[in-house]
Amino acid sequence: MKAIATKGARDVRATGALELIDADIAEPDGYDLRVRIEAISVNPVDTKVRAGALGPLDEAKILGWDAVGRVEAVGDHAAGFAVGDRVYYAGQVDRPGCNAEQQLVDSRLVAHAPASLEIEESAAMPLTGLTAWEGLFDQLQLTADPKAHSEETLLVINGAGGVGSSVIQLARQLTGLTVIATASRPQSVEWCRELGAHEVIDHHDLINEFQATGRDTADYIFNCHDIGVHWENMVTLIRPLGRIVAIAETEHQVDLNALQPKAASFSWEFMFARALHGYHIERQGEILAELATLLDEGRLRSTLGEVIGPLNVENLTRAHEQLEAGHTTGKLVLTAMR
Amino acid sequence: MKAIATKGARDVRATGALELIDADIAEPDGYDLRVRIEAISVNPVDTKVRAGALGPLDEAKILGWDAVGRVEAVGDHAAGFAVGDRVYYAGQVDRPGCNAEQQLVDSRLVAHAPASLEIEESAAMPLTGLTAWEGLFDQLQLTADPKAHSEETLLVINGAGGVGSSVIQLARQLTGLTVIATASRPQSVEWCRELGAHEVIDHHDLINEFQATGRDTADYIFNCHDIGVHWENMVTLIRPLGRIVAIAETEHQVDLNALQPKAASFSWEFMFARALHGYHIERQGEILAELATLLDEGRLRSTLGEVIGPLNVENLTRAHEQLEAGHTTGKLVLTAMR
């Protein structure tokens, strides 16, 4: 099969950054499905792995951890799926990704794609939807009940990004939280409001902007930006015994002691952790099924921002460039290789 | 009234470290009770404040945050207590402590002392009992049910210390957790076993000792030691999506990013946080009442280690010295000033 792989490069236009390759694809065994890819989305993890975040690559690596496709073949232990089913999933960072014609994926990480969405809309959702869900319900340990947390406030730092866009929606649909999101450009402010944020504030003057809404502190903070940049803001804005979740490692030194006087908590959300460590990985298939239901019911909307075009080296390079430049609103999606 | 106060000194034998003073005591108003002190316990926070952890002291400060005594007078809003009641409490770090003949304390932080215990036994319990309780149930968010967490493991680092001794007991009495505590001296190993630890391991070779019990990781870690000393051990031993709680700030740099690949959580427990920030402070009175019930039912035992003698400068100095030398097993208690 054809695939697009990287040998690693900080600059996406450098030689070896993204190249068309021929790769083998096996019959699935065990829990695996073989899927023919119909649409994919890109995420910061793609550009980070390409640029060397996991260290030098021994061999060309196929990136891509957001896919929609048709099941072509089913392993012996892969229950719940049949040839021809349309599925969606994020997959595993330590296996070949979905920037390819076909992919093997553990069926426990997979759900049927939302029936009512276009494939491009579904492709935008798995990785960020899982991250938002796990962050809210596994890490912040919120209760999924529209009457729960109705006296409490969630601050979403970088609300218009891929994860933030799902956090805002899930918090509004599944809890009674008041949601305050950060955004600074008119387009991203409007995007956060459409997704359901009660208030949108500018992250460049976060403490004053937050407190101008009439609150001293937030009960919960979901930080979708670099924690080092916002560490002191979070120390100031988290309430006593409050809880913070974050998704992005930092190159800044952070002073963990600073959270002690408030007896606050800090959690990492890392969507690949379950599969990487073999810890209840079936939970990700269950969450994706719940997200599909919410999407089909119209309670969530896809965070698709732009369809770049079919998956080829030039389009994928442009997608990486746009991600690395920042300021994307919603997700970037590519359709099947051709 | 007489009290023992500090003007701040790193060395407890230095001039101004601990001195007998005359201090005023007012009639209680608002939520306050005035209590005549019958027994007190010492904690690391006493020696830290004396040595300058809160910065230079503007005036002589009365230390002490573990008290048993009789209510002498009751403020207008102090419900649930009458003159003559025997009470126990930890109090507030930003008010004068209990190293005195009398003390004013917010009644919302107070409960009736266990009826069946000697006052010396009760005096050992408030600060460490609250810390253990809040750490387990507010921070680790465990479920207080003997059938809960029966497939899960709690690692208690420094199990024989004041907090660890209560953590072991509460985890055994109120949850189904398997409790693995660290201790290294024969006396402290035996102490941890008597309190209910399923296994006691040596913290000097923590990873190997832990894994020799047949487990790769712990679901929860309650670290009662310096987090910097055990950071890498905790990174290795916490399970994916596991939760860590700690009570002691560190002078070491810790690498928060290291917890990210496992999507682990880190919480600070700080018993003074509720009162310091005015956050649901009535909860501490409720927890102390629950602890008193457990003590009266014989389900918890006091962690009293040694009664030093009556509260005077020499005895309190010895108590600080013993705490600062480490290696105390159980709590050090002093009886009323005379």
Single out the residue of B212, B224, B124 nearest to residue B171, CA to CA.
Answer: B224
Cα distance between residue A245 and residue A133, in whole Å: 12
Give the percent of chain B with pLDDT over 70.
100
Mean pLDDT of A56-82: 94
Please give the single-letter amino acid code of residue B81: F
Q: Report, in this order, helix, strand and coil percent for chain A, each rounded to 5.
A: 35, 30, 40
Phi, psi of A222 (to 5 degrees): -110, 105
Interface of A with B (CB under 8 A): 134, 138-139, 141, 227, 239-241, 249-250, 253-254, 256-257, 259-270, 273-274, 276-277, 279
B222 phi-psi bin (left φ>0, alpha ψ -120 to 50, beta other) = beta
A241: enclosing H helix or E strand = strand A238-248
Contact A267 B266 (CB under 8 A): yes
- The answer to whether domain B129-268 has CATH 3.40.50.10320 is no
Cα distance between residue A19 and residue B92, in whole Å: 64
Per-residue pLDDT tens for B176-203? 999 999 999 999 999 999 999 999 999 9
Which of A268, A272, A276, A287 should we substitute to test contact with B (largest number of B Cβ atoms within 10 Å)? A268
What residue spans define the domains of chain B? 2-125+281-335, 129-268
Q: Quick one: tokens of A26?
A: 């096996």
Strands (E), chain B: 2-6, 19-22, 32-41, 61-62, 67-74, 86-89, 102-106, 110-112, 153-157, 178-182, 199-201, 218-226, 238-248, 265-268, 304-310, 331-335
| B228 touches B253 (CB < 8 A) | yes
Contact B268 A254 (CB under 8 A): no
Please give the single-letter amino acid code of residue A63: L
Q: CA of A118, closest CA in chain B: separation in Å?
A: 32
| A159 touches A170 (CB < 8 A) | no
Q: CA of B176, closest CA in chain A: separation in Å?
A: 20
The domain A2-125+302-335 is placed in CATH, from the list 3.30.1370.60, 2.30.30.90, 3.40.50.800, 3.90.180.10, at 3.90.180.10
How many residues does this entry show for chain A? 338
Per-residue pLDDT at A327 exceeds 80: no
Q: Which of B253, B256, B261 is nearest residue A270 as measured by Cβ atoms?
A: B261
Global ipTM: 0.94
| B49 touches B5 (CB < 8 A) | no
Mean per-residue pLDDT of chain A: 96
Query: How many helices and strands (H and E) does chain B possess?
Result: 10, 16
The domain B2-125+281-335 is placed in CATH, from the list 3.90.180.10, 3.50.80.10, 3.40.640.10, 3.40.50.10470, at 3.90.180.10
Single out the residue of B74, B61, B117, B67 nearest to residue B90, CA to CA.
Answer: B67
Contact B261 A273 (CB under 8 A): yes
Contact A264 B266 (CB under 8 A): no
Per-residue pLDDT tens for B212-250? 999 999 999 999 999 999 999 999 999 999 999 999 988
Q: CA of A127, closest CA in chain B: separation in Å?
A: 15
Q: CA of B248, closest CA in chain A: separation in Å?
A: 9
Contact A249 B257 (CB under 8 A): yes
How many residues does this entry show for chain B? 338
Task: Write down the pLDDT at residue B338.
Answer: 87
A227: enclosing H helix or E strand = helix A227-237
Contact A277 B240 (CB under 8 A): yes
Task: Write down the pLDDT at residue A58.
Answer: 80
Per-residue pLDDT tens for A105-118? 999 999 999 999 99
Cα distance between residue B235 and residue B244, in whole Å: 10
Per-residue pLDDT tens for B58-84? 889 999 999 999 999 999 999 999 999
